[in-house]
């Protein structure tokens, strides 16, 4: 278990660094989009390559940050019963959900996307748009992103098994307290209560 936890830690570090670096793509997208718009309006010049770079960067943010979001438990979760269970039951739900749903889906997409990427690379596939970019880098983002997600899913399973067996801490222990949504809802309730008091 110690070796698995060390491997899990390395996966966490790698996905965290990649996820944090990918956040800068949002700034790059914004600057490229603004620059393209200004060039089009001011000088009647536009670039399909710049438009496609924006799409590539958006795809990279979405795919590279999926594993980072899983690590931080930031994916949307529809919680009907989960919050009512004990912590151990929640951990079991996480493990089973990852094994039965997340991993099969991610492995299938990785399996299906790999030949699409290799075919695109071998054929030197290029965008049909005038001045467009090669397609293979965009095609590569899908298997890379889902490989990262699979590794992070395995890391999350290891951490939860370690917790259940007493070999590791609760992987969610650092996230005690209200979520951002709960904190916002509480702030809105306070503002409404304050407004009602003033109205009296």
Return the pLDDT at 157. Answer: 95
Return the pLDDT at 78. Answer: 65
Provide the percentage of residues in the chain whose pLDDT is more than 90.
Answer: 50
Return the pLDDT at 188. Answer: 85
Residues 70-93 pLDDT 10s: 999 887 766 777 778 888 888 998
Higher per-residue pLDDT: 184 or 110: 110
Higher per-residue pLDDT: 191 or 105: 105
Return the pLDDT at 181. Answer: 63
User: What is the Cα–Cα distance from 160 to 154, expressed in whole angstroms?
Assistant: 10
Provide the percentage of residues in the chain whose pLDDT is more than 70.
Answer: 93
CA 79 to chain CA centroid, Å, is 19
Residue 41 has pLDDT above 80, yes or no: yes
Residue 187 has pLDDT above 90, yes or no: no
Residue 185 has pLDDT above 80, yes or no: no
Residue 135 has pLDDT above 80, yes or no: yes
Return the pLDDT at 179. Answer: 59
User: What is the Cα–Cα distance from 160 to 144, expressed in whole angstroms?
Assistant: 25
Residue 47 has pLDDT above 90, yes or no: no
Average pLDDT over residues 25-30: 92
> Which residues lie below 8 Å from residue 114, measured CB to CB, with a gap of 6+?
143
Three-state SS at 152: helix
Return the pLDDT at 28. Answer: 92
Average pLDDT over residues 29-55: 86
User: What is the Cα–Cα distance from 62 to 135, expressed in whole angstroms?
Assistant: 17
Residue 184 has pLDDT above 80, yes or no: no
CA torsion 187-193-199-200 (nearest 10°) is -160
How far the first Cα of the chain sits from its last, in Å, is 61
Task: Establish how many alpha carbons lie within 13 A of residue 90's alpha carbon, considering only the half-sphere containing its beta carbon.
Answer: 15
């Amino acid at each position: 278990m110690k070796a698995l936890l060390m491997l899990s830690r390395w996966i966490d570090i790698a996905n965290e660094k990649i996820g944090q670096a990918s956040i800068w793509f949002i700034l790059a997208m914004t600057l490229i989009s603004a620059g393209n718009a200004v060039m089009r309006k001011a000088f009647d010049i536009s670039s399909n390559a710049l438009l496609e770079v924006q799409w590539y960067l958006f795809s990279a943010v979405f795919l590279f940050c999926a594993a980072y979001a899983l690590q931080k438990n930031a994916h949307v979760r529809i919680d009907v019963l989960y919050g009512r269970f004990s912590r151990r039951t929640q951990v079991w739900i996480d493990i089973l959900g990852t094994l039965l749903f997340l991993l099969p889906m991610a492995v299938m997409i990785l399996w299906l996307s790999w030949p699409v990427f290799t075919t695109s690379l071998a054929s030197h596939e290029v965008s049909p748009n005038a001045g467009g970019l090669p397609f293979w880098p965009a095609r590569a983002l899908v298997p890379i992103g889902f490989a990262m997600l699979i590794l992070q899913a395995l890391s999350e399973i290891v951490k939860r098994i370690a917790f259940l067996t007493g070999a590791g801490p609760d992987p969610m222990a650092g996230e005690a307290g209200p979520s951002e949504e709960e904190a916002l809802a509480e702030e809105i309730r306070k503002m409404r209560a304050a407004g009602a008091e003033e109205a009296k």
